[in-house]
């Protein structure tokens, strides 16, 4: 009889090229949820044990299976029956949606599909954190810049120069825009985190597509603000989610 390794290899050989990303996506989403909850609070990410937010009971592996555990427990802690925050489920489902979208929209396979999924998952995490507390942590934005340049070096070497220029122009251009805004309005309106995120966008799509990112981001932000009735001089809207959406759409389709 074939051994376990041969069975696994045979099973993997019959899988579609995008299947590994789809399988991994909910687990990545679960980790993204940990980052979203812990990074803004300065809590340990790597070693802190997961626990119920209501009773503090440490959760076991059966409580932490992405999507499935939430469904099996009917959205409640097995120890105290307190409701589990739906955000846990939504992050996992969003990560799965990103993998499906990347596979369907990008038409790529292998390393390039992994790169696109990693970009989407990181943008999801950053956008969620910014929407909650208007912060874009350097621990995520700066590695995203390096990852974009590394992806170009390894998979698209002809684009390295444009990607490096994109990172530099994206950061410098956004910082100049922020300084001009402060000079005109006498207050801060655009954060440094947004400038670093636009630099990451430039590192992933190149200098010539930065205007496309800004157009997509500004359009989606304006539509959101109009729907929320938040168009006034004092309204504060986290720009990170819209900037991330712009980067993602340009990466996939332009």
Candidates 146, 160, 156; CA nearest to 118 is: 146
Share of the chain above pLDDT 90, in %: 57
Q: Residue 101 in 3-state DSSP?
A: helix
Residue 194's Cβ-count burial label (10 Å; 0-12, 13-18, 19+) is buried
Helices 240-253, 86-106: axis angle to 10 degrees equals 30
Residue-wise pLDDT for 204-215, tens only, equals 999 999 999 999
Candidates 205, 215, 211; CA nearest to 166 is: 205
Residue 158: its pLDDT value, please?
Answer: 94
Candidates 161, 175, 132; CA nearest to 32 is: 132
Residue 5 has pLDDT above 60, yes or no: no
- Across 125-156, b (16+ Cβ under 10 Å) vs e yields bbbbbbeeeeebbeebbeebbebbbebbeeee
Q: Which two tokens stand for residue 216?
A: 């997509």
117 neighbors 102 (Cβ within 8 angstroms) = yes
Residue 32: its pLDDT value, please?
Answer: 96
Q: Provide the pLDDT confidence category of residue 142 given band limits of 50, 70 and 90.
A: very high
Residue 229: its pLDDT value, please?
Answer: 67
Q: Provide the pLDDT confidence category of residue 174 given band limits of 50, 70 and 90.
A: confident
Distance CA 153, CA 160 (A): 6
Least confident of 12-16, 183-187, 234-238: 12-16
Q: Which two tokens stand for residue 1?
A: 């009889």
Residue 130: its pLDDT value, please?
Answer: 95
The DSSP call for residue 187 is S
67: left (phi over 0), alpha (psi -120 to 50) or beta: left
Residue-wise pLDDT for 38-50, tens only, equals 998 888 887 778 8
Candidates 146, 141, 127, 99; CA nearest to 252 is: 99
Residue 8 has pLDDT above 60, yes or no: no
Give the chain's mean pLDDT.
86
Candidates 121, 112, 140, 135; CA nearest to 200 is: 140
Higher pLDDT, residue 153 or 228: 153
Residue 157: its pLDDT value, please?
Answer: 93
95 neighbors 29 (Cβ within 8 angstroms) = yes
Q: Model pTM?
A: 0.89
Residue 60 has pLDDT above 70, yes or no: yes
Task: Report, as an integer, the average pLDDT of 163-185.
Answer: 86
Share of the chain above pLDDT 70, in %: 86
Q: Which two tokens stand for residue 232?
A: 């006034």
Residue-wise pLDDT for 183-199, tens only, equals 776 666 667 899 999 99
Chain centroid to Cα 170, Å, comes to 18
């Amino acid at each position: 009889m074939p051994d376990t390794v041969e069975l696994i290899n045979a099973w993997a050989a019959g899988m579609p090229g995008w299947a590994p990303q789809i399988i991994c996506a909910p687990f990545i989403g679960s980790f993204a949820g940990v980052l979203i909850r812990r990074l803004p609070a300065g809590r340990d990410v790597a070693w802190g044990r997961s626990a119920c937010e209501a009773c503090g009971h440490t959760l076991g592996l059966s409580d932490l299976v992405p999507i499935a555990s939430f469904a099996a427990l009917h959205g409640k802690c097995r120890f105290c029956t307190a409701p589990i925050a739906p955000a846990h489920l939504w992050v996992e489902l969003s990560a799965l949606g990103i993998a499906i979208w990347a596979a369907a929209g990008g038409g790529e396979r292998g390393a390039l599909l992994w790169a696109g999924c990693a970009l989407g998952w990181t943008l999801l995490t950053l956008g969620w954190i910014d929407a909650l507390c208007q912060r874009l942590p350097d621990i995520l934005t700066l590695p995203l810049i390096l990852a974009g340049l590394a992806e170009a070096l390894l998979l698209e070497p002809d684009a390295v120069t444009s990607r490096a220029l994109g990172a530099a122009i994206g950061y410098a251009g956004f910082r100049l825009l922020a300084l001009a805004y402060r000079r005109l309005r006498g207050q801060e309106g655009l954060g440094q985190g947004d400038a670093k995120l636009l630099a990451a966008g430039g590192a992933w799509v190149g200098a010539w597509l930065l205007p496309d990112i800004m157009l997509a981001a500004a359009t989606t932000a304006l539509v959101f603000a109009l729907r929320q009735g938040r168009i006034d001089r004092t309204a504060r809207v986290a720009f990170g989610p819209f900037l991330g959406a712009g980067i993602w759409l340009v990466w996939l389709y332009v």
